[in-house]
């Protein structure tokens, strides 16, 4: 029976996979949506945009996860 917990390696694999899939979806969406909205964007600009937004998103996710872990962990240790 599985405990539902991931190993660090499994978490890393999931995180990298999620980032790659998100990048592909973002680049594809931008490629088709930008012209509809009246923007002209090259493939290079699209890739740069995806990289920048991915870095911002990763920093946000990491920060929220660490804060959540800190405060939820503190409450669990206090018995709340």
* Model pLDDT, residue 2: 54
Residue 11 — very low, low, confident or very high, per pLDDT cuts 50/70/90? confident
Question: Alpha-carbon distance 42 to 48, whole Å?
Answer: 10
Q: Is residue 66 part of a domain?
A: yes
Q: Name the pTM for this structure.
A: 0.66
Question: Alpha-carbon distance 32 to 39, whole Å?
Answer: 10
- What the block records as the tokens of 12 is 């890393």
Q: Is residue 6 part of a domain?
A: no
Q: Is residue 1 part of a domain?
A: no
Tens digit of pLDDT for each residue in 27-51? 999 999 999 999 999 999 999 999 9
- What the block records as the tokens of 29 is 């969406």
**What percentage of the chain exceeds 70 in pLDDT?**
85
**What is the count of structural domains for the chain?**
1
Degrees, nearest 5: CA angle 18-21-19? 40
Mean pLDDT for the stretch of residues 17-33: 92
Lowest mean pLDDT among 18-27, 50-59, 67-76: 67-76
For residue 4, the SS3 value is: coil
């Amino acid at each position: 029976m599985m405990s539902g917990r991931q190993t660090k390696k499994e978490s890393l694999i999931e995180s990298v996979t999620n980032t790659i899939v998100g990048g592909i979806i973002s680049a594809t969406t931008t490629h088709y949506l930008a012209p509809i909205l009246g923007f002209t964007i090259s493939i290079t600009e699209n890739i740069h945009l995806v990289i920048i937004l991915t870095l911002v998103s990763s920093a946000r996710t990491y920060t929220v996860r660490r804060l959540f872990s800190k405060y939820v962990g503190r409450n669990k240790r206090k018995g709340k």
